[in-house]
Amino acid sequence: MSTEGLLWVDKHRPSTFSELSYHSVLTKNLQSLSNTEVPHLLFYGPSGAGKRTRVHCVLRALFGQVVEKKKVVHRTLKVETKQIEVTTVASAHHIEVNPSESGNNDRLVVQELIKDMASSAPLDMKKSLKVIVLHDVDQMSQLAQQALRRTMERYSKTCRVIMVAESITKVLEPLRSRCLGIRVALPSKSDIGVVLQSVAHKEGITLPDALVQRIAETSGRNLRRALLQFEATRVSVGALELPSDAQVMLGDWEYVCQDLAVMLTRSQTAHQLIAVRKKLQELLAHAVPGDVILRRLLEEILRIADDEICPEICRVAAKFDRNLTKGTKPIFHLEAFAARFMQIYAAFLKQQAAMMD
């Protein structure tokens, strides 16, 4: 079995409960849950905590090796006069889909897929349940979530829904109450260290502890990011033995965010704002979601800015983050945040200068 081209994140992804390395209590609970009848599940927690890995482990425990035989299916749903293209990953027992990908049609996707799944009775009556896995449930529109709730009720005898979401607050209350909520927390830094070392061992790489520490630091305890950074660093160094002072590689957009933070602190003029806007547009064009940019930018800014103005910056960021999730055009809010930060920072600098005199 060739695993040459695979990213390490996917190559070394655990597929059974026994392979999971952290959150042992949660693993035990999930394991015992899989032996009985499974309710609807809602996995939530920050990105890179291992939600999807756990979903997969549950599926594996429920149906065995068969779920590993997955197939990418591009389906065209015909609803009323619309034709909606959906990409799904399906095995004999389950189907995975990200309804929010279909934008405004997510309601129809959810309804049609569940109806479709439920209407075809499974061959093996013992494992009579079919499972539908929905990703990014928190990104779905309110209407789709409402529809999901009704559809879940109607077909609950023949199918189970496993939902994956980052933020539970964006999931409707009634939907939450219909599922067993399972929070997957971020692994601790030492957990990440363990995983990194085990991967390094499997790949035959010597990984110094200092570098592990730094990767765990820069990844923000996001295991996916940690593994990706590890691989990127490994590739950029090019040797099997990594020096402990190797530079940890980041994603391109993260570098752009860093640059943005520096740009904002360097000068506070309208001209600078135009340059900032250009960079933000570029980020958005590369499909980085607006709230992710805002968050990252805030992190970078907080690192640079003085403690005195940090609370104000956070307050402003929270305000624009709210507007961003409610609004349509992320650029408006990002730009407004940038401008507001410039103003705060300029005032701060002026104050500092006055105090010096």
Quick one: 69 or 201, whose CB is closer to another protein?
A: 69
Let me know: does 200 contact 185? Beta carbons within 8 Å: no
343 is a site residue for another protein (CB under 8 A): yes
Backbone torsions φ then ψ of 114, nearest 5 degrees: -65, -40
Tokens standing for residue 165? 């979401």
Contacts to another protein from residues 257-296, by CB under 8 A: 268-270, 273-274, 277, 281-282, 284-289, 292
In the complex, least distance from residue 142 CB atom to another protein, rounded to whole angstroms? 7
How far apart (Å, rounded) are the C-alpha atoms in residues 311 and 307?
A: 8
Quick one: 4 or 245, whose CB is closer to another protein?
A: 4
In the complex, least distance from residue 292 CB atom to another protein, rounded to whole angstroms? 5
> Residue 101: which H helix or E strand, with range?
none
In the complex, least distance from residue 125 CB atom to another protein, rounded to whole angstroms? 25
Let me know: does 62 contact 93? Beta carbons within 8 Å: yes
116 is a site residue for another protein (CB under 8 A): no
Q: Quick one: which segment of 88-96, 111-119, 204-212, 307-315 binds another protein (CB under 8 A)?
A: 88-96
How far apart (Å, rounded) are the C-alpha atoms in residues 196 and 201?
A: 8
DSSP 19: G
One-letter amino acid for residue 127 of the chain: K
In the complex, least distance from residue 331 CB atom to another protein, rounded to whole angstroms? 6
In the complex, least distance from residue 20 CB atom to another protein, rounded to whole angstroms? 15
In the complex, least distance from residue 74 CB atom to another protein, rounded to whole angstroms? 9
> Residue 246: which H helix or E strand, with range?
none
Among the listed residues 33, 77, 136, 299, the single contact to another protein using CB under 8 A: 136
Contacts to another protein from residues 11-30, by CB under 8 A: 11, 13
Residue with tokens 């609807």: 40
Contacts to another protein from residues 206-245, by CB under 8 A: 222, 224-225, 228-229, 231-232, 235-236, 238
Tokens standing for residue 68? 């590993």
DSSP 241: B
Contacts to another protein from residues 160-199, by CB under 8 A: 166
Among positive and negative, which fits the CA dihedral 28, 31, 35, 39? positive
Task: Give 98's contacts (C-beta < 8 A, 6+ positions apart).
Answer: 87, 134, 135, 136
Nearest to 291 by CA among 47, 119, 92, 126: 47
122 is a site residue for another protein (CB under 8 A): no
Give the interface size with another protein as a residue count (CB under 8 A). 85
Contacts to another protein from residues 43-72, by CB under 8 A: 47-48, 52, 56, 68-72
Among the listed residues 4, 37, 80, 307, the single contact to another protein using CB under 8 A: 4
The count of other CB atoms within 10 Å of the CB of residue 50 is 26
Map residues 139-158 to x or -, x wherever contact with another protein holds by CB under 8 A: x-xxx---------------
The count of other CB atoms within 10 Å of the CB of residue 215 is 24
In the complex, least distance from residue 49 CB atom to another protein, rounded to whole angstroms? 10
300 is a site residue for another protein (CB under 8 A): no
36 is a site residue for another protein (CB under 8 A): no
Among the listed residues 153, 209, 252, 306, the single contact to another protein using CB under 8 A: 252
Tokens standing for residue 25? 């209590």
77 is a site residue for another protein (CB under 8 A): no
